[in-house]
Structure 1
Amino acid sequence: MSVNSEIQTPRSARIAPEYTRNKGRKGNFEMYAWLFMRLSGLILVVLVFGHLFVNLMLGDGVHAINFGFVAGKWADPFWQVWDLAMLWLAMLHGTNGVRTIIEDYAEKDSTRFWFKMVLYVASAVIIVLGTLVIFTFDPCPANASAELLPSFCPAP
């Protein structure tokens, strides 16, 4: 048996396809996106479990969650910032994850572009609307009829 220092050509030409998509364009973006996923995931665990503990374990638990509970909670700037951080991190974390899936599975550049545009627009709309709800929520709106107001609102 002779020793041949040459590697034989594989029978299948598709043994190692060359990956050329987005070659050299991204720089360190993917590394920062990867790092963001890990850090935001850790922070989200703290935010979500804190949210669940306050809402479900303190007081009367799930039976106490109603309009008044949310109104009282969002009257405190601490809980507004807490819920805002949870909203923003969850949306950005999820958007980055879906972006990665699109990058992996969409083969055509145009398909990838449009999927990501729909993703980014949907994420931006949800972040903007959620932020507006958190900071403009008023349980006792002016000029509302008394029968529509919750019991804790002063009579108009």
Structure 2
Amino acid sequence: MANTEIQAPRSGRIDPKYNRAKTSRGSFEMLAWLFMRLSGVALVVLIFGHLFANLMVGDGINGLDFGFVAGKWADPVWQFWDLALLWLAMLHGTNGIRTIINDYAEKALTRVWLKGILYVATAVIIVLGTLVIFTFDPCLVDANNVPLPGAICHA
């Protein structure tokens, strides 16, 4: 039986012009790795707290409506809770997708474009979500300044 050598999975398949730079980014990658672990633990607490407050307390899923959200976001604690959930979930997911892009996009220009699109989308969602949480007004009015049905307006 002949002695055969098994080549590395990608050996001979990648054109040398697509090889990545040999520079080390260990410090950033270590912080990103640590962030994923810490944010994952925090997200578990935030998500289960969110689910418990929304589904187990009160009328459960039947009680989820505009008024429920208005009442919940009238409390700064829930505004902060949902804000932390939004920011951590988006940053955790973005970091995970960034890692996938680094692993699978072979061309440097492709990585730059994909990560650029990812970062812009993340920023837009975080900004819009933050604005919704802090500018939410439960008193919806029509063009004549008359409250709409279901609106929660305090006199």
Q: What TM bracket, shorter-length normalisation? A: 0.7 to 0.9
Report the count of equivalent residues: 147
Q: Deviations over 1:34-89 (max 9, x none)?
A: 01001000000000000000000001100000000000000100000000000000
Alpha-carbon distance between aligned partners in 2 of 1:28 and 1:137, rounded to the nearest angstrom: 39
Cα pair 2:102 2:111 within 8 Å, conserved = yes
Report deviation, 1:139: 0.8
Aligned to 2:37: 38
Q: Give 1:25 shift.
A: 4.3
Instruction: Give the TM-score, by structure 1 length.
Output: 0.83
Compute the TM-score of the two structures, normalised by the length of structure 2.
Answer: 0.84
Q: Unaligned regions of 5+ residues in structure 2, if any?
A: none
| Partner Cα separation in structure 2 for residue 110 and residue 9 of structure 1 | 37
1:139–1:150 Cα contact (<8 Å) kept: no
Identity %: 67
- Bigger radius of gyration among the two: 1
User: Stretches of 4+ moved more than 6 A in 1?
Assistant: none
Match of 1:125 in 2: 124
Q: Which amino acid counterpart does residue 146 of structure 2 have in structure 1?
A: A
The CA deviation string for residues 66-123 of structure 1, in whole angstroms up to 9 with x for no partner, is 0000000001000000000000000000000000000000000000000000000000
Residue aligning to 1:71? 70
- Superposition RMSD on alpha carbons, in Å? 2.7
Within 5 A, what are the aligned runs for 1:40-59?
40-59=39-58
Aligned amino acid, residue 51 of structure 1: H
Alignment CA distance shift 1:103-1:50 (3 Å): same
Partner Cα separation in structure 1 for residue 6 and residue 33 of structure 2: 37
Letter in 1 for 2:148: L
Q: 1:107 aligns to what?
A: 106
**1:22 Cα deviation after fit:** 3.8
Amino acid at match of 1:103: N
1:140–1:149 Cα contact (<8 Å) kept = no
Distance 1:76 1:95 in 2: 29
Distance between the aligned counterparts of 1:22 and 1:45, measured in 2? 36
Show the counterpart of 1:29. 28
